[in-house]
C-alpha cells in the first residue's frame, strides 16, 4: 500500500524469517527519502498432509496412485511487514513555488595549524606600602594572598600567555596630584623588589609561556614626576650604553626584559594583541556606575578587549554586523589584585572594587572565547567550581633576597 507520504511493504510468505534490512533491500527502499516508522516480523504455523505418491504421465495421461497416511506435518511460514513515511512530506496541493534544496551534511573542522591558547590576565596589583611612622612595620597595598591564589589557579590552567595589565606599581611617593604623606616615603625600593619577585615567580613557573607586562597610570607616575620635577634625570642613560632604556624606566627598575618579559611602556596608548580580534590594555576610561565603563568602551569597538584601571569586574558584549559574517565582541575588566579596605591611597573602604583576574581562550585564526572571571573572596580564589586558598609569602620573599635588603621595616602589620 502506497500513498504520497506513506508506504507499506509486505514480503511474500516464506520458509525463513526476514530481517528489516532484507525487506528494505527486497523493495529497493531509498532510506534518504523514506524512514521506517514500524517493523513487524510475523510467522504462523500451517498443516501439511503426509501422502505416499506414485504418479507418472504417459502421453499426457496420469497414471499411478496417491495414498494418504492420515498424518499431518506442521511447518511455519514467515512474513515481514514495514510501515514507512517520507522525511519531506509532499503537499496535497501543488504550491506556487516548489523549491527543493539538497543539503549535504558536513562536520565543521577547525582550520589546520591552529591551536587554542589560554591567556591569564593579572590586573592592578599596585605593589607598594604604607610605612608606620616611628616604628617598624608596613601595610602592603598589594594583596599577597590574592596573587598567590591566582598563581595556584595558573598551575591548574597552564596558560600560554601571562599578562600583567598595568598598575604593577602604586608609586604613591611619586604622585604629582596628591599630598605625599609620611607613610609613603622610602617605599619604592621595597615595592620594586617584591613586584619583581612575584613577576619572576610566574616566569619561573611557566617558562614556555609568553610573559607580558604593561604600564598603567600609576606606573606612569615615575615618568610624570621626572618631567615635572627632575627633568635632568628624564631619559638619562649610561654613557657607554646609550642604546638601553632609561635608567629610571619601569622595565629597567623591575628587570622585566632581563627576565624575558615583553614590556609595553606606553600609557595610555599601550596595547597587547593576543590575536587580530582580541587586545589587552590598561585603560584610561572610568565610570562610577557599575557596568558603565565596559559599556562606554564597547561603543566604538570593533574587537574584543580586556582592560584594567577600574578595579571592578565588568563585561558587556554585542554583535558586530559585517558584509560576510557577524562577530561577537565584548569588553571586560578582570578586577584588581590590591586590597579593598581603603588602604590604597585615594580609595575608601566602601569603594566598589572587586578582587579578581581573568582567563580567556583564543587562537591564531582569530577565534576569541568568552572570558572567565577568577573571583577572589578574602584569601581564596574561586574558579570553575574549585577553591584555591592563597598564602602570604612574605617570609619566602625575605629569604630570596639573602640579606641584601633590610625587610625589618616592612614586616606586615594590620591596616587600621
SS3 152: helix
What distances in angstroms separate CA 60 from CA 53, 56, 57, 64, one per listed residue? 18, 9, 6, 13
SS3 294: helix
Of 69, 82, 64, 130, the closest CA to residue 409 belongs to 130
Q: Which pLDDT score is estimated for 59?
A: 65
Q: Which pLDDT score is estimated for 199?
A: 96
H or E, element range at 252:
helix 250-254
- Domain map (residue ranges) of the chain: 6-86, 117-410
Q: Write down the CATH number for the domain with range 117-410.
A: 3.60.21.10
pLDDT at 142 over 90: yes
Q: Which pLDDT score is estimated for 49?
A: 65
Q: pLDDT band at residue 106, thresholds of 50, 70 and 90?
A: very low
Q: Which pLDDT score is estimated for 304?
A: 97
pLDDT, tens digit, for every residue of 314-354?
999 999 887 777 889 999 999 999 999 999 998 998 899 99
Cis amide linkage into residue 384, ω under 30° from 0: no
CA pair distance 102, 333, nearest whole angstrom? 46
User: How does the average pLDDT of the chain come out, rounded?
Assistant: 88
Give the total residue count for the chain. 416
Q: What are phi and psi of 332, to 5 degrees?
A: -145, 145
Q: pLDDT band at residue 1, thresholds of 50, 70 and 90?
A: low
pLDDT, tens digit, for every residue of 211-246?
999 999 999 999 998 899 888 888 888 788 787 778
Task: Check if the beta carbon of residue 147 is closer than 8 Å to that of residue 175.
Answer: no
pLDDT at 110 over 60: no
Of 150, 199, 154, the closest CA to residue 379 belongs to 150
Q: Which pLDDT score is estimated for 135?
A: 87
pLDDT, tens digit, for every residue of 344-391?
998 998 899 999 999 999 999 999 999 999 999 999 999 999 999 999
Q: Which pLDDT score is estimated for 324?
A: 77
Q: Is 384 left (phi over 0), alpha (psi -120 to 50) or beta?
A: left
Amino acid at each position: 500500500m502506497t500513498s504520497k507520504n506513506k508506504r507499506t511493504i509486505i514480503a511474500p510468505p516464506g520458509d525463513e524469517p526476514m530481517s528489516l534490512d532484507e525487506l528494505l533491500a527486497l523493495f529497493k527502499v531509498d532510506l534518504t527519502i523514506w524512514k521506517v516508522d514500524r517493523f513487524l516480523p510475523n510467522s504462523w504455523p500451517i498443516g501439511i498432509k503426509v501422502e505416499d505418491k506414485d504418479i507418472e504421465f504417459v502421453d499426457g495421461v496420469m497414471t499411478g496412485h496417491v495414498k494418504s497416511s492420515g498424518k499431518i506435518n506442521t511447518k511455519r511460514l514467515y512474513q515481514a511487514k514495514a510501515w514507512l513515511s517520507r522525511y519531506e512530506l509532499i503537499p496535497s496541493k501543488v504550491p506556487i513555488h516548489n523549491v527543493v534544496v539538497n543539503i549535504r551534511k558536513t562536520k565543521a573542522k577547525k582550520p589546520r595549524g591552529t591551536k587554542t591558547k589560554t591567556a591569564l590576565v593579572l590586573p592592578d596589583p599596585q605593589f607598594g606600602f604604607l610605612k608606620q611612622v616611628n616604628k617598624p612595620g608596613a601595610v602592603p597595598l598589594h594583596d599577597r594572598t590574592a596573587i598567590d591564589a591566582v598563581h595556584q589557579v595558573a598551575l591548574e590552567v597552564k596558560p600560554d600567555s601571562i599578562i600583567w595589565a598595568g598598575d604593577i606599581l602604586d608609586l604613591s611617593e611619586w604622585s604629582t596630584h596628591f599630598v605625599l604623606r609620611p607613610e609613603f616615603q622610602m617605599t619604592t625600593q621595597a615595592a620594586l623588589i617584591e613586584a619583581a619577585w612575584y613577576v619572576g615567580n610566574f616566569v619561573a613557573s611557566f617558562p614556555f609561556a609568553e610573559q607580558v607586562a604593561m604600564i598603567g597610570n600609576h606606573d606612569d607616575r615615575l615618568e610624570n614626576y621626572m618631567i615635572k620635577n627632575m627633568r635632568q634625570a628624564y631619559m638619562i642613560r649610561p654613557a657607554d650604553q646609550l642604546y638601553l632604556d632609561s635608567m629610571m624606566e619601569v622595565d629597567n627598575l623591575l628587570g622585566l626584559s632581563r627576565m624575558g618579559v615583553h614590556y609595553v611602556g606606553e600609557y595610555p596608548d599601550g596595547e597587547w594583541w593576543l590575536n587580530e580580534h582580541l587586545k589587552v590594555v590598561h585603560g584610561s576610561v572610568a565610570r562610577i556606575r557599575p557596568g558603565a565603563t565596559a559599556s562606554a568602551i564597547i561603543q566604538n569597538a570593533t574587537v574584543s578587549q580586556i582592560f584594567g584601571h577600574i578595579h571592578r569586574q565588568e563585561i558587556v558584549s554585542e554583535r558586530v554586523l559585517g558584509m560576510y559574517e557577524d562577530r561577537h565582541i565584548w569588553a571586560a575588566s578582570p578586577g584588581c589584585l590590591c586590597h579593598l579596605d581603603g588602604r590604597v591611597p585615594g580609595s575608601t573602604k566602601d569603594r566598589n572594587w572587586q578582587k579578581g583576574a581573568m582567563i580567556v581562550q583564543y587562537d591564531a585564526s582569530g577565534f576569541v572565547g568568552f572570558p572567565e572571571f577568577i573571583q577572589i573572596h578574602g584569601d581564596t580564589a574561586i574558579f570553575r567550581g574549585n577553591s584555591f586558598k592563597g598564602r602570604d609569602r612574605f617570609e619566602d620573599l625575605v629569604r630570596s633576597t639573602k640579606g641584601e635588603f633590610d625587610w625589618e621595616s616592612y614586616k606586615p602589620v594590620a591596616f587600621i
